[in-house]
Amino acid sequence: MARKGQFKKNAKPRSIKQRKFNSVLKHKKNTAIRNAARRNSGLKVGDKREVDHKKSLSKGGSNNKSNTRIVSRTTNRKKGSR
């Protein structure tokens, strides 16, 4: 059995690619920011709503309450396709 942090011999290519992506420091920081926004908004695990940043974090937005709002999952996912 593979140790923590190592790839299994029978790991699928998609799993290997996803692990490499998640291990990049920039992506770790972004995940931590999104998790903090979720905690601050009062959403629970498994809730069908999501936290939407009005001004994107990559474009200078913040995690302040004035920049976040709670929206449905479909509304938040549609926003990225515009």
Could you report the per-residue pLDDT of 32-52, keeping only the tens digit for each? Answer: 888 888 888 888 888 889 898
> E strands along the chain, which residues?
49-53, 68-72
Could you report the per-residue pLDDT of 51-70, keeping only the tens digit for each? Answer: 988 888 778 888 888 889 99
Give SS3 for 15: helix
- Give CA–CA dist 19/8, Å, rounded: 12
Give the model's pLDDT for residue 81.
66
